[in-house]
Amino acid sequence: MKKRSIYKQVISLALAVLLMVSAAFYTDVPVNAAATIRNERITATVQASSTAALRIRWNKSSLAQGYVIYRRESVRLPWKRLRVVSRNTTSYLDRNLTSGKPYQYGVRAYRKENGKNVYSIFAPVIGATRPLKTTVIARAVSSSRVNISWTRVSRCDGYYVYRRAAGEKWKQIAVLNRTRRSMADTTVSGGTKYVYCVRAYKKGGNVRYLAPMTQSRLVTTPKGNSSSNGSSSNSYSEFNSYQLNVMKKILYAVETGGQIYENQVYDDFTEAYTNSSAEHAITIGAGQWYATEAQRLLKLIHDKYPDTWKACDPKNYVWNDVVNKNWSTYRISKKSGRAKIIQKILATDAGKACQDQLMYEQIREYEQEIRKLGITEARAVGMLINVRHQGGYGAVTRILNKTKRPVTLDSIYDALKTDTGNQVGAYRTRQEKVYSWLKTYMK
């Protein structure tokens, strides 16, 4: 009986050892090759960002016994092991980081197989901490202009500028490069309260991470000048935002809008020599920017909206031409691939916004030239801006030499009727339309 009892104990002990070995075997080694952790792919994403921390997430693997988190500050630097976390963890908050700086993260699942740790495939992600906030100062200098300035933010890639009128929502008005410290908002209205916000941004992968939001003090633009009888005057030191917009619509209408007020063709593309034998380069956009002005417009779009440009011109066919070609004689066929890329860029919201911005800038430039000649009446200034845009500064002085005093819209139009045999005088219908629209819309 004693021998049988010992025999049973030996058998029980052997079975227990066998069960323990089996359990260890099935814990460390996958059932089949397809279940190995080597075939798993762990993809990291950025869940949240602040000025000093980044939170990442990743997909969970049913085979994982844990995860190893890695970070590097440049693709030229080696990965550094940050932390090992449990199999139930799928996010990690990385603290004490530098503001406005990109970081790359990778996460690998691991599992013990055949007594050794085996690691998964991983897909890294690039994120960035947010830049620090800036200090914004806004100053109304006229009824149609507010000057905005801000303090520099280290390590940022650029700035977003926003404006909010009293009782309205925030509106983005500009995206500027990192070297800018100021801008002029010339699209404001007289007698209106505004607040401005400037937010630095940092690129991290395909995302722009914005700084915390800070805003300027409330500024109020002065009202436009008034005549002695209390009615609105038609003479200003410069166009207000309403007048500026009217002038833009007029120039767009006569250039690409089929001479219909408020019509325009933003993606217009005109080949060289189409309008005139003297035009040796292409003309593009709603405002018909020719030669180097076309180049100026495309540079503006590229610099302000690089992501939009990249989506339209991923291989930089057009951008290489913008940088390297002579745009005084740049000519390509409308059927060419480059022409189609240019039209695609012009048709985007970014392309339209930059065309409007450039048109406003040119109107301001022309307006200053004309007011220096002593012309102050708004409609007269508008008519001469049309002449300047069409025929250059020489055409303005030529028409003024023919104009009876005082210089008014009517006296300029009478002079235009006598101007023949040149680029301005030959377009009688255009001058008639501009004259009519200025009478109707330029208040």
State yes or no: pLDDT of 14 exceeds 60.
Answer: no
What's the average model confidence in pLDDT over 401-411? Answer: 93
Separation CA 133–CA 14 (nearest Å)? 70
Residues 139-191: pLDDT tens digits?
Answer: 988 888 899 999 999 999 999 999 999 889 999 999 999 989 899 898 898 88
Is the pLDDT higher at 296 or at 29?
A: 296
- pTM above threshold 0.85: no
Q: Using 50, 70 and 90 to split pLDDT, how confident is the model at 34?
A: low
Question: Tell me, what's the pLDDT at 170?
Answer: 95
* Alpha carbon distance 326, 332 (integer Å): 12
User: Any bridge partners for residue 113, and if so which?
Assistant: 116
The residues near 265 (Cβ < 8 Å, ≥ 6 apart) are: 256, 257, 286
More confident site: 391 or 359:
359
Q: What is the pLDDT of residues 182-196, one digit of tens each?
A: 998 988 988 899 999
Report residue 22's pLDDT band, with 50, 70 and 90 as the boundaries. very low
The stretch 368-389 carries a mean pLDDT of 92
69 is written with which tokens? 């988190």
Q: Across 73-77, 89-93, 225-229, which has the greatest mean pLDDT?
A: 89-93
Please identify which residue in the block is written with the tokens 């869940």.
47
How far apart are the C-alpha atoms of 182 and 353, rounded to whole Å? 19
Q: Say how far apart CA 207 and CA 157 lie, in whole Å.
A: 12
Per-residue pLDDT band at 276 (split at 50, 70, 90): confident
What is the model's pLDDT at position 6? 57
- Is the model's pLDDT at 424 over the cut of 80? no
CA gap 289, 279 in Å, rounded: 11
Question: Quick one: pLDDT band at residue 17, thresholds 50, 70, 90?
Answer: very low
How high does pLDDT run on average in the chain?
A: 88
Residue found by looking up tokens 């976390």 in the block: 85
What count of residues does the chain have? 443
For 111-138, what is the mean pLDDT?
95
Vertex 251 angle, CA 246 and 255, to 5°: 150
- pLDDT score of 186: 86
How far apart are the C-alpha atoms of 95 and 129, rounded to whole Å? Answer: 10
Contact by Cβ (8 Å): 56, 125: yes
Phi then psi dihedrals of residue 247, to 5 deg: -65, -40
Instruction: Give the span between the Cα atoms of 433 and 441, in whole angstroms.
Output: 12
Tell me the C-alpha distance between 142 and 148, whole Å: 13
Question: 30 pLDDT exceeds 80?
Answer: no
User: Count of CB atoms within 10 A of residue 107's CB?
Assistant: 28
Question: Residue 217 — φ and ψ, nearest 5°?
Answer: -70, 160
Distance from C-alpha of 398 to C-alpha of 390, rounded to nearest angstrom: 13
Residue 231 has pLDDT above 50, yes or no: no
Q: DSSP of 237-262, one letter per residue?
A: SS--HHHHHHHHHHHHHHHTSTT-TT
* Burial call 330-365: b when 16+ CB within 10 Å, e when fewer: bebeeeeebbebbbbbbebebbbbbbbbbbbebbbe
pLDDT tens profile 303-351: 999 999 999 999 999 999 999 999 999 999 999 999 999 999 999 999 9
Residue 7: band (very low, low, confident or very high) from pLDDT cuts 50, 70, 90: low
Residue 421 clears pLDDT 50, i.e. is over it: yes
Q: What is the pLDDT of residue 233?
A: 38
**What pLDDT, on the 0 to 100 scale, is given for residue 9?**
60
pLDDT of residue 310: 96
Q: Which residue has the tokens 């963890």?
A: 89
pLDDT at 107 over 50: yes
